[in-house]
Amino acid sequence: MRAMVFEGVGRPLRLVERPTPKPAAREVLIRVVACGVCRTDLHVVEGDLKAPKLPLILGHEIVGQVESLGKGVEGLSVGQRVGVPWLGASCAHCAYCRRGEENLCDEARFTGYQIDGGYAEYTVADHRYCFPLPDNYDDLHAAPLLCAGLIGYRSYRMAGEAQRLGLYGFGAAAHIIAQVAVQHGREVYAFTRPGDEEAQAFSRTLGVQWAGGSDQVAPVELDAAVIFAPVGALVPAALKGVHKGGKVVCAGIHMSDIPTFAYDLLWGERTICSVANLTRQDGIEFMRVAGEVSITTAVQPYSLEQANEALEALRLGQVKGAAVLRME
């Protein structure tokens, strides 16, 4: 098979040929059809996330077809279309796992970080972390659901019953969850990079109530805000925008340092929380939601060989929606 391999910080991904992997017990072999390019991939390449497996095949928004089954696989069949997310394994016996919080498991392993991912023609995955995909999305447009959608959904749930929801960083995750929130009857306020009028115009096509730069304040007090951009300075900005009792959800796996801010911004029982990965239950719930509501995933396709170009476009903020690698 062909694969784009990461060999260390400062080095571009390299196209190589490798033997097609074989599924071990409880694993399935998947022929990859599409794989989203996520900001987390960029954090791995740039060294923000330490100690990845090397050499490594990135990619954790995998859409593909089950080719063969390892021993002990249940609930999946050869030929079935599935998606593979960031969380790829957990211990199944610690207190977190027993509570259904396997996203917090100390022994959790992650696709495209400690487990080879989807920047390749084939991959293997634990069958417990493969989700059947709703039929109303083709392969290319289903890929962003596997991380941008899932992390966006978990963040959305953590924002509670917020009727006025602010989204900071209007990229892959925000453009998906904004549509879910709007269709659930909520008001969405989109914050983009200052001066990015194209992103603001794009957000308005999705039904948001208001769009502006992250250096601006929404015209109303917000019930909650979700920060998708990895910019610590947005935390005090978001706190300033939510009312007393409001919540700020930090959705990224990595964020620059949060600057000091006056206690007055936090006072009034405002809260700050982080989102860590996802659970299998999140996957089950969100795939059901994605099948019930109409989500238009905006994608920019790239070939497998163009993975470095896709990562660079993401780094420069040139991707509107989500970049997706399409296997020929």
Q: Are residues 28 and 116 in the same domain?
A: yes
CATH number of the domain bearing residue 167: 3.40.50.720
For the residues 100-120, what does the mean pLDDT come to?
96
Given the DSSP bridges, would you call strands 242-250 and 271-274 parallel, antiparallel or unpaired? Answer: parallel
Q: Are residues 177 and 301 in the same domain?
A: no
- Predicted confidence at residue 266, as pLDDT, reads 96
Domain count across the chain: 2
Q: Are residues 89 and 163 in the same domain?
A: no
Given the DSSP bridges, would you call strands 222-227 and 242-250 parallel, antiparallel or unpaired? Answer: parallel
Cα-to-chain-centroid distance, residue 299: 14
pLDDT in tens, 135-183: 999 999 999 999 989 999 999 999 999 999 999 999 889 999 999 999 9
Token pair 């995909």 is at which residue? 133
- Predicted confidence at residue 172, as pLDDT, reads 85
Q: Does the structure show a pLDDT above 90 at 82?
A: yes
In the numeric block, which tokens belong to residue 126?
């634990």
Q: Does the structure show a pLDDT above 90 at 267?
A: yes
Q: Are residues 11 and 142 in the same domain?
A: yes
For the residues 73-78, what does the mean pLDDT come to?
94
Q: Are residues 36 and 16 in the same domain?
A: yes
Q: Which residues of 76-98 are buried (b: 16+ CB within 10 A; e: fewer)?
A: beeeebbbbbbbbbbeeebebbe
Q: Are residues 143 and 282 in the same domain?
A: yes
For residues 256 and 143, give the distance between their C-alpha atoms in angstroms, rounded to a whole number.
27
- Predicted confidence at residue 252, as pLDDT, reads 86
Q: Are residues 156 and 143 in the same domain?
A: no
- Predicted confidence at residue 211, as pLDDT, reads 97
- Strand-pairing partners, residue 191, are 168, 212
Percentage, residues of the chain above pLDDT 70: 100
Q: Are residues 166 and 70 in the same domain?
A: no
H-helix or E-strand spanning residue 124:
strand 122-126
Residue, of 42 and 320, whose pLDDT is higher: 42
Q: Are residues 28 and 158 in the same domain?
A: no
- Return the sign of the alpha-carbon dihedral for residues 281, 291, 189, 146: positive
Q: Are residues 283 and 265 in the same domain?
A: no
For the residues 23-51, what does the mean pLDDT come to?
95
Q: Does the structure show a pLDDT above 90 at 300?
A: yes
- Predicted confidence at residue 284, as pLDDT, reads 93
Single out the residue of 200, 85, 191 nearest to residue 133, CA to CA: 85
Collapsing DSSP to helix, strand or coil, 250 comes out as strand
Q: Does the structure show a pLDDT above 90 at 317?
A: no
Domain span at 165: 150-274
Q: Are residues 258 and 289 in the same domain?
A: no
In the numeric block, which tokens belong to residue 86?
């960031």
- Predicted confidence at residue 257, as pLDDT, reads 96
For the residues 27-36, what does the mean pLDDT come to?
98
- Predicted confidence at residue 287, as pLDDT, reads 95
φ/ψ of 177, rounded to 5, equals -75, -25
**For residues 37 and 148, is the Cβ–Cβ distance under 8 A?**
no
For the residues 241-256, what does the mean pLDDT come to?
95
**For residues 254 and 49, is the Cβ–Cβ distance under 8 A?**
yes
For residues 35 and 316, give the distance between their C-alpha atoms in angstroms, rounded to a whole number.
20
Q: What's the chain's average pLDDT?
A: 95
Query: Which of the listed residues 252, 274, 296 is the one where a domain comes to its end?
Result: 274
**For residues 146 and 176, is the Cβ–Cβ distance under 8 A?**
no
Q: Does the structure show a pLDDT above 90 at 277?
A: no
Q: Does the structure show a pLDDT above 90 at 281?
A: yes
For residues 16 and 47, give the distance between their C-alpha atoms in angstroms, rounded to a whole number.
22
Rg of the chain taking only CA atoms, in angstroms: 19
DSSP 72-107: T--S--TT-EEEE-SEEE--SSSHHHHTT-GGG-TT
pLDDT in tens, 223-245: 999 999 999 999 999 999 999 99
CATH number of the domain bearing residue 129: 3.90.180.10
Token pair 């896709």 is at which residue? 310
Q: Are residues 154 and 264 in the same domain?
A: yes
Q: Does the structure show a pLDDT above 90 at 28?
A: yes
For the residues 198-216, what does the mean pLDDT come to?
95
For the residues 112-131, what does the mean pLDDT come to?
97
Token pair 């972390």 is at which residue? 129
- Return the sign of the alpha-carbon dihedral for residues 187, 154, 308, 233: positive
Give the pLDDT band of residue 86 (cuts 50, 70, 90).
very high
